[in-house]
Amino acid sequence: MIHNRIGTKLGIWMMTLFFIVIFFLSIAIDRIFSNFHQTEMTSNVNEMTSHFVMMAASPVNTSDHSLDAFADFSEVSIFIINQKGAVTAHSGEHDPTDHSFIRKKDVQSIFSGDTVNFTHKDPNGNRYIVSGMVVPASEGNPDPDQAMYVLASTDHMDESISRMRTLLLMSGIGAMLLALGITWISAQILSRPLLQMQRATRKIAVGDLETRLPVQSKDEIGLLAEAINDLAKDLQRYRDTRQEFFANISHELRTPITYLEGYAKVVKEKLYTSEEEKDKYLDIIQEEASRLQRLVNDLFELAKMEEGKISLSLEWIDLTDIVRSSIRKMEWKVNEKGLVMRGSYDEEIPLIVGDGLRMEQIILNMLDNAIRYTDQGDIRVHLHKGSKHVTITIEDTGIGIAEEELPYLFDRFYRVEKSRSRQHGGTGLGLSIVKKLVELQGGTIKVRSQAGVGTRFDITFPLPERQEKQE
């Protein structure tokens, strides 16, 4: 069983993301609750302190009795100090000897009319919220000479925060466990198509080109599966055409070699009965040698194109002259098969930039192809000019091409009418060479065909900018 490494990596990344989010979210919630409790308690202590100092300033209350009552009722500790910071009265559970919270600068601020608030920790480690205010002046004492410190223990607040943190911790652990389960399931679901693709590509790599992937979505995963399927189809077709090509090449090579060997032996051993018979054998040898030469040339030409080593001699060329010359060169083949070839040309066909020899090779190859697959009727060649291009149209009344074969017509090694290859010739290289030569000169080639009716090729070349401006 293949270890789901990508699922593991995906799960780790997702869990890391969950952990980071939950961690910082917990910190944020903790700070929000802690600050809320701190602010709320500080506000309450300030309110109590304000209330206490007002009551302490009232002449109705006796100082000691009121101080004890305030402290017991509110569960706080109260310290009364003078302007020098000395404690004059105390009430509550806080250690009366602990005066570390009374600081000189705070005393000055309090008697200046400010309120001080801070958190204090006593020698025993107990925390308090401290609020300090001046006791307002009374009728008998116009100058305030007393201030009050109120210390409220933070035990209840700390317990609440502790319970909240425990709840956050438990919630975080629960969320992480839930996230772990969701992540594992999600990682398995998301990585399953990738594992299928891995297995499929391994099968394709070892030669099982009939492997196909189910396309279950239209997202990037689905598009990747379609691409792998298309790759498998192309590789399968390439393998089949390559095998067929090698079989055809073997046959095409074996036949002329057999003829060359056999008739050369006949001539060498003088097994002929007359000079006419000898010449006939020599003609066969020459014909088969020419066939062999054409095959080798096609292979060599295609190899150079595949390696990008073919060079073009670009110049201003006259397509009209090249087409007419090509038609003249093919007249003997047309007459030999009893066909008719007609050429027509628009007026004032402009010059284009191209390789004259290669252009003639393209046209001769296309005409030869049309003649080969046309048994009766005619072949029409038309050269016409558009606003931005020149098009050579070659149309025949031959056997035509089935619609399902048209997409592969220009592929290497592909051959139409495979069962009649000897009759119609070719090795499946001609149209592939033509297409590459056309594209190297900036042109395009298109085909339309109907089985039993005929085939039409349109070869289009762009007009140079100079010619377009002249229009």
Output phi, psi for 57, to 5 deg.
-80, -10
Is the pLDDT score of 36 beyond 80?
yes
* Statement: residue 447 has pLDDT above 90: yes
What average pLDDT does this structure show over 48-59?
78
What is each CA distance from 61 to 53, 77, 80, 87, in whole angstroms? 12, 18, 15, 19
Q: For the segment 366-408, what is each residue's pLDDT rounded down to a tens digit?
A: 998 899 888 888 999 999 998 889 999 999 998 888 888 888 8
322 and 299 share one domain: no
Residues 362 and 301 in one domain: no
**Residues 403, 269 within the same domain:** no
List of residues 6+ apart from 129 with CB closer than 8 A: 38, 41, 42, 45, 117, 119, 120, 151, 152, 154
Q: What is the pLDDT of residue 1?
A: 41
Structure-token pair, residue 362: 């393209």
Alpha carbons within 13 angstroms on the beta-carbon side of residue 8 total 4
Residue 202 lies in a domain: no
Nearest to 370 by CA among 410, 403, 340: 340
Which of these three, 146, 161, 176, is where a domain ends?
Answer: 161
Q: Are residues 229 and 351 in the same domain?
A: no
In a domain, 205, yes or no: no
Domain that holds residue 155: 5-161
pTM reported for the whole predicted model: 0.47
Residue whose entry in the numeric block shows the structure tokens 């980071």: 20
| Dihedral angle of Cα 341, 347, 348, 354, to the nearest 10 degrees | -20
The answer as to whether 321 is a domain residue is: yes
Handedness of CA 88, 91, 92, 96 (dihedral sign): positive
**Residue 38 included in any domain:** yes
| Cβ atoms of residues 460 and 393 within 8 Å | no
Task: Tell me the pLDDT of the chain averaged across its residues.
Answer: 82
- Residue for token digits 């709840």? 167
Q: What is the pLDDT of residues 198-254, one digit of tens each?
A: 788 888 888 787 888 877 777 777 788 888 888 888 888 878 777 776 776 776 677
Give how many domains the chain has, as a whole number.
3
Confidence of residue 71 (pLDDT cuts 50, 70, 90): low
In a domain, 176, yes or no: no
Which CATH number goes with the domain that contains 414? Answer: 3.30.565.10
pLDDT of residue 304: 76
CATH of the domain at 111: 3.30.450.20
Q: Do 36 and 111 have their domain in common?
A: yes
Q: Is residue 181 part of a domain?
A: no
Please check whether residues 141 and 262 belong to one and the same domain. Answer: no
Residue 461's pLDDT is 94
Residue 240 in tokens: 């089949």
Residue 200 is predicted with a pLDDT of: 84
The reply to whether 347 and 292 lie within a common domain is no
Q: Is residue 286 part of a domain?
A: yes
Domain end position, chosen among 307, 324, 350: 307
The CATH number of the domain holding residue 278 is: 1.10.287.130
Residue 115 counted as domain residue: yes
307, 335, 367 - which closes a domain: 307
Rounded Cα distance between 422 and 373, Å, is: 12
